[in-house]
A = this chain, B = another copy of it.
Amino acid sequence: MSTPGTFTVNAQDGPARLGELHTAHGVVRTPAFMPVGTLGTVKSLCPQDLREAGSQIILGNTYHLYLRPGDELVARRGGLHKFMRWDGPILTDSGGFQVFSLSSLRKLTPDGVEFRSHLDGSKHFFSPEKVLDIQRNLGSDIMMVLDECVPYGADHAYTEKSLDLTHAWAKRSRENHEPGRNGQLLFGIVQGGFFKDLRERSAEAICSMGFEGHAIGGLSVGESTAEMYELMAHTAPLLPAEKPRYLMGVGKPLDILEGIANGIDMFDCVLPTRNARTGTLFTSQGQLNIKRAEFKEDDSPLDPQCSCYTCRTFSRAYLRHLFVAQELLSYRLNSIHNVHFFLELTRGAREAIAQGGFEAYHAHWRGVFGGGTE
């Protein structure tokens, strides 16, 4: 088995690339989509479901797991893999995004961020070192550094000042976690809001610190698709080609393909599972909401081109009935399908890149999802 962190690019099709990232729990073929397992479970799914849907790697949320059941408890159980019985790779975020989006009464200091739990209002403190300790307790294969997530609309001055903090924290993170330690990789995060000069400065700073991979943070925070694509296209090529590139928290199917077209290798998003719970399903023919009356007597599978358990087994009429009746099974069957769809989308992208046909593949999906993603 290769050293964790080894990343090889095996094929290239324009900026889009086909790669392999080695981790302590196996190889991730990229471009890869990571289903989000917030609290030690990808909502409504068990490890068997995830494997069957084609998951290679999943994401765990440091903020949530720190609060519940607690990272030290997870460490005493042998780590997150053992606790949730997922033996493939796990990436954990730094918790920063949740601190800035979920918790209240934040106090930012050079040393870290004080915040109150969204669950019970209790006070907590995250420093760059603390979130690495948490991620070590969780035993994740890929750890993320703590950063400040600047809200959408922040001005140049604020964003610039924030970068200093983010870069200082990144430096402390790398110092706290030397390469190769315990087989856990550490990824840096490029910020800079919606200012190209700041993105450039951040990429230069972050990419000089020797991380095993680089992420683009701070996108999909309220901006238009055009803005997101512009920033993505500007930032992705600034990240070194020999390391994996990860676009955090993005996104819709076309956003992911746009990322791949720009040379991004990894993605995560709650969309497949969150939309499953509202009945919004992604198919080879576009998006549909299963609660619509037109599906009441529709005996066809949700997506005739899909090979997931839901599509192989049940009709739209049955899925609509379950959703309307708010049956628990509805959320599981919808999630199985949506997660499978996102995994298939990226699997198809890998195949297309290998055959030099990514542009056509991208164009095909642009046709399906109507060109825009709003």
Contacts and interface: CB of A to CB of B under 8 A. Distances in A.
A187 interface: no
A48 B296 CA distance: 24
B296 A327 contact: no
A275 to B, nearest CB: 14
Which of A76, A318, A329 gathers the greatest number of chain B CB atoms within 10 Å?
A329
A77 B317 contact: yes
A328 B43 contact: yes
Contacts of A333: 46
B296 A44 contact: no
A325 B85 contact: no
A46 B45 CA distance: 13
A350 interface: no
Contacts of A331: 328
Contacts of A43: 327-329
Interface string A313-328: 1110110111011011
A40 interface: yes
Which of A76, A314, A318 gathers the greatest number of chain B CB atoms within 10 Å?
A318
A202 to B, nearest CB: 35
A178 interface: no
A45 B329 contact: yes
A83 B40 contact: no
A98 to B, nearest CB: 15
B329 A299 contact: no
Given A68-B321, A84-B318, A318-B84, A46 B332 contact: yes
A230 interface: no
Q: How many copies of the polypeptide does the oligomer hold?
A: 2
A317 B46 contact: no
Given A83-B317, A317-B83, A39 B76 contact: no
A132 B333 CA distance: 31
A73 interface: yes
A161 to B, nearest CB: 37
B46 A315 contact: no
A291 to B, nearest CB: 12
A103 interface: no
A328 B315 CA distance: 22
Contacts of A8: none
B327 A41 contact: yes
A85 to B, nearest CB: 5
A68 B332 CA distance: 20
6 contacts: A40-B321, A41-B329, A46-B309, A46-B329, A69-B321, A328-B328
Interface of A: 39-41, 43-48, 68-69, 73, 76-77, 83-85, 296-297, 299, 309, 313-315, 317-318, 320-322, 324-325, 327-329, 331-333
